[in-house]
Amino acid sequence: MLVVTLLFGLFVAFNLWRMFAGKVAPAQAAELVRGGALLLDVRSTGEFAGGHLPNAKNVPVQELERRCDDVCHKQRPIVVYCQSGMRSATAARILRSHGFSDVHDLGAMARWPARH
């Protein structure tokens, strides 16, 4: 039982680390967007329709691989977000693998600074 509990704890810790590792600070994300970075929402179209950050573009992560050319030019900075941070991490990897070099993963939409 102890081994199962330890393994479960490691699994949870690993997933939390994956969600927050490599995330851009919220204030820095807002500054990037103010400076012209694209704010990319990778949640579903239904989630996006239910509410999103101002001026965000929606490309669901499931469509991103085939729609990379529709996102923006590859030199433009991109700040990507989703609901929890898992899909945005996946989207950041996809974008980088397609030659986008200035990609910043905000993670969860809730991390966006309230005053911006």
Has residue 4 been placed in a domain?
no
Is 68 tagged catalytic?
A: no
| Catalytic residue selected from 37, 78, 82, 108 | 82
Question: Domain tally for the chain?
Answer: 1
- What pLDDT, on the 0 to 100 scale, is given for residue 44? 98
Q: Which amino acid is residue 83, in one-letter code?
A: Q
Has residue 116 been placed in a domain?
no
Has residue 86 been placed in a domain?
yes
Q: Could you report the per-residue pLDDT of 8-49, keeping only the tens digit for each?
A: 666 555 555 455 556 999 999 999 999 999 999 999 999 999
- What pLDDT, on the 0 to 100 scale, is given for residue 114? 82
Residue 54's domain spans which residues? 23-111
Q: DSSP characters for 34-63?
A: HTT-EEEE-S-HHHHHT---TT-EE--HHH
Has residue 8 been placed in a domain?
no
Nearest to 71 by CA among 91, 53, 54: 91
User: Higher model confidence: residue 3 or residue 41?
Assistant: 41
Average pLDDT for the chain: 88
CATH for 58: 3.40.250.10
